[in-house]
Structure 1
Amino acid sequence: MTQAVIFCNTRQMVDWLTEKLHARDSTVSAMYDDMDQKERNVIMKEFRTGSIRILIRTYLLGCGTDVQQVSLVINYDLPNNRENYIHRSESTISK
């Protein structure tokens, strides 16, 4: 089972894209930098077990996704600097 992580720069873009993919019956969830840790843990558990196939999120410093099944990382919005671009991919793909 393959999964994808999509990075957006703003919560508004995360919400918009999540809504669009929900309308297409995708199993998708959103995660934000200002979200409660318990809520993020629930979403990550669902993502790791495969009940969520697409995770759309803002960039959370120090919060890697690290899921074996992730085969696609999309930067829907380009980050503001090169280091964040590289870190988004490195923190997502399991080594």
Structure 2
Amino acid sequence: MEIATMQQDPLPNRPPRYLRTPEAARFLGLSGRTLEKHRTFGSGPAYRKIGGRVVYRLEDLQLWAEASARQSTSDPGTSVARRPGRPAKLVSR
């Protein structure tokens, strides 16, 4: 599902739609675990905790995905959306 092909919300005055992690991951074409890693490293879309549950606003998912747009493989981009990685290991000498 491409974001560019999505239609605007036909009912702009209704409350925002919230998705749980599995739904949000499917929407983005990622695994739930990848989305959890992004959340851990602070590189993912904005989320909320409601009643102990993590939820994502549909608009935040779209904005995060759009921030990752690139024109070429050499385009470094300016967004913070990046692939989660492992934290750097401390090396003692």
**Shorter-chain TM-score: what band?**
under 0.3
Larger Rg: 2
| TM superposition score normalised by structure 2 | 0.24
| TM superposition score normalised by structure 1 | 0.24
- Larger relative contact order (CA 8 Å, sep ≥ 6): 1
Q: Higher strand fraction: Structure 1 or Structure 2?
A: 1
